[in-house]
Structure 1
Amino acid sequence: MEEPAARRRMPDPVRVSAVRAVLIMSLTIIQAMVAFLCTLAGSWLAFPMVLSSVGSTVVATWSVLDVWITRQVWNQRNGVVSVPSSSARQLRRERRRARRAARAARRDEARIRRRGAENLSRA
């Protein structure tokens, strides 16, 4: 039996940047671990690995910020889900009712005119 998801699915651009951030973060952690082990072993590779780990940390930080920025941009462009108590929704509802009432009044007025014209043509 399939259960509904607890949270809605992330939008595609946000999900793509999140996956990219996770991959970059995992590679950065692996690289930092290799740098640490090279340092413990006294290998010549320790210094270049530490330098590249610092650079990778900067890139990983940017990738995490990219997820946040992409999410904010997506919300601004596509809007957020409105809540039932939203004032904008209430205004739209009132405008819709007013338009329907105006249309109904025009229809009734046209119907009355047609009936008046029919009665005149019969006389």
Structure 2
Amino acid sequence: MGTVERHQAPEDGAAARSTVRRISGAPDHDTRAEGSVARAAPAQPRYRPLWVEEPARHRRMPDPVRAAAVRAVLVVAVTLILAMVAFLCTLAGSWLAFPMTLGTVAGTVLATWGVLDVWVTRQVWNQRNGVVSVPSSTARALRRERRRTRRQERGAEGRQDRIRRGSGTGQLSHP
């Protein structure tokens, strides 16, 4: 486990030469010119993890949407199996070819329904629970700007009301 040797034949047909490449962390087993062997300290084995945890790129699907997707995948898988069996029965000339073909047609209808179910369930879930807003969303920036404008208008109206109430016009005396 110390060195990796790669033998290359030269173009002129001379004897093969070896190129030695060091692996990091591997013990050194070189032979010196004088014939003495270099002693290396016993290397501790470096353990690398088998995998590195990475954050998910997408958020997890909501439970109802995931359940609909699992149903759709199962129906599509069964439909594909039915289609394969129908095809093989047709090639074999079996009497099961016709019932399997009818099952495949029914499975195709169910698979279409399953895929539409996933789409509708996702749309309903988004409508009921809201869509996660992205911080750089233009809609969020527009809402923030509208809120700021409304606050400024309310502040200006409040100051006008205070000025009108506090000026004392129309009052003859103070109690």
Length-normalised TM-score, structure 1: 0.71
One-letter code aligned to 1:63: G
SS of 1:25's partner is helix
Name 1:45's counterpart in structure 2: 96
Q: What aligned pairs does 1:1-123 form with structure 2 within 5 A after superposition?
A: 1-84=52-135, 85=138, 86=140, 87-89=142-144, 91=146, 94=148
Distance in structure 2 (CA, Å) of the matches to 1:90 and 1:81: 20
Return the alpha-carbon distance in structure 2 between the equivalents of residues 3 and 41 of structure 1.
50
Partners of 2:131 and 2:124 in 1: CA distance: 11
Gaps of 5+ in 1: 102-123
Shift, 1:82, TM fit: 2.1
Is the radius of gyration larger for structure 1 or structure 2?
2
Q: Pick the structure with more helix per residue.
A: 1
After superposition, the Cα gap between the structure-2 partners of 1:46 and 1:14, relative to the gap in structure 1 and judged at 3 Å, is same
Report percent identity of matched pairs. 70
User: How far 1:2 sits from its partner (Å)?
Assistant: 1.9
Output the amino acid matched with 1:52: G
**Structure with bigger RCO (C-alpha 8 Å, 6+ apart):** 1
Residue 59 (structure 1) shift: 0.3
Q: What is the identity, as a one-letter code, of the residue corresponding to 1:80?
A: V
Q: 1:60 & 1:24 partners in 2: Cα distance? A: 6
Secondary structure at 1:13's aligned position in 2? Answer: helix
Give me the whole-angstrom Cα distance separating, in 1, the residues matched to 2:145 and 2:101. 58
Tell me the distance in 1 between the aligned counterparts of 2:93 and 2:59.
Answer: 49
State the secondary structure of the residue aligned to 2:114: helix
* Larger strand percent: 2
Q: What residue ranges of structure 2 are gaps of 5+ in the alignment? A: 1-51, 156-175
Instruction: Count the aligned residue pairs.
Output: 97
State the one-letter code of the partner of 1:83: V
